Structure 1
Amino acid sequence: MERVYSLPEMKTSTSITGAHQMTVEPAWTSDNHSHPVFEFLYCIDGRFQINVNGCHYRLGSREGLLIGPHRVHNFINNSQEPCTFFTFQFDLDECSLRYWLCQEGEQIVVPEDQTETGLDEFYTLIAQQSEAQDDWNQTHEFDLMQSVGSVSLLKIQGYFLLLLSELVDILKKKSLHKEEKKKKISYEKYEVAHKIASNLENHVEEHVLISKIAEELYMSVSNCNKHFTAVFGISPKSYLNRIKINTAKRYLSETKMGVEEISRRLSFSSASHFSRQFKKLTGVSPIQFRINY
Structure 2
Amino acid sequence: MKKIILGAVLYTITAPFCLGQVKWTNVDSLFGALPSSVHVFTTTDLIEGKPNIAYYVLADLKNRKLNFTTDTTYQRRFTPQQFYEKNQQPLLVVNGTFFDFATNRNLNAVIKNGKLVSYNVHSTALKGKDTMLYMHTFRSAIGITKKRKADVAWLYTDSSARFAKAFQQVPGFYKDYLPAVMNKTLQNQSVKWKMQSAIAGGPVLIQNGKVDVSNNEEYMFIGKAIDDQHPRTAMGYTADGKLIILVVQGRMPGIAEGASLTQLAKLLLDLGCVEALNLDGGGSSCMLVNGKETIKPSDKEGQRAVPAVFIIENKK
TM-score after normalising by structure 2: 0.26
Structure having the higher Rg: 1
Which has a greater percent of strand? 2
Which has a greater percent of helix? 1
